[in-house]
Amino acid sequence: MENSKIVAVPLLESEYVKELLAIMEVNDAPGRRDLLAVLTQVNAMERQLNAAVTEFTALRRELNAAREQAHPVKTALQNTGAALEKNVTVLRDKMDAVKQNMIDGCKNAVDAFKEKGISALDNIARFFKVRPMLEAMRGELSNGIRADRAAIAKITAMSTEYHEAGRHIKNMGRTLMGKELVSDAKPIGKLAKSLEAPFKAELSCLSAMKRSVETALSRLTALERVAERKPSVQKTIETLHEQIAQKQESVPDTEKPRPLSHEAR
């Protein structure tokens, strides 16, 4: 129940997110801009998914209308609606998991800072285990985009075929009556257009969401490289000790200070 309440809050308004970003800004911690970029993209993904859900509601309404009117397009789309509904449900679950992981990561990073100081944030990316989740979302979004495009193509093809058949039937009657034949079929019908609209709108939402996922993955990569660019304090000390030891080994024995003899003492 507590997690549900946390996920319900917009990501950038989470107390843990705001606290970590404030800590990183005050201490000029590396990776703040990349982390903020990842958080911003995840926030955008949530908005885009909400828009896709709204469009899917309109899509379901149009599919029901097609069934009631016994339009031939309904046959081509009878399984598409169920597949898209499942896809949207899976995306919602993955989106909630990504958001919760980002919030938990911010909380853990804040706790580590309070315990160990700013050095605990040198490798800030280690607190966020979202790469597999984002990659899985990208796959689901690709599936949804393909389904939308295929549905739009089916609607166009079925509507064209339907009106072409109507033109042939009409011309048969005109031939019997000795009238001039109709050369052009009617354009895509009103119902077909109304069916296409929510598919196109959802396609736009999912495409925007996929771009946000890809941007988030790119900025996550940059965040992961921050730790590679900045060696730890311990590693720096060890490197200095090695350099000093190497310099001492390179000094000829004649130049090395000799221990004092008993007479000199």
Please choose, from the candidates 1, 97, 87, 10, the residue with its C-alpha nearest in 3D space to the C-alpha of residue 47. Answer: 10
Dist. CA 158–CA 192, nearest whole Å: 9
User: How far, in Å, CA of 34 to CA of 47, rounded?
Assistant: 20
Each residue's pLDDT expressed in tens, for the chain with a length of 265 residues: 455 555 678 899 999 999 999 999 999 998 999 999 999 999 999 999 888 888 777 777 766 766 656 555 666 566 666 777 788 888 899 999 999 999 999 999 999 999 999 999 988 999 999 999 999 999 999 988 998 888 888 877 766 655 444 444 454 554 555 555 445 545 555 666 767 777 888 888 899 999 999 999 999 999 998 877 655 444 555 555 566 666 666 655 555 555 545 454 4
Which residue in 77, 86, 30 sits closest to 226, CA to CA? 30
| Tokens matching residue 120 | 């605990």
- Domain extents for the chain? 2-231
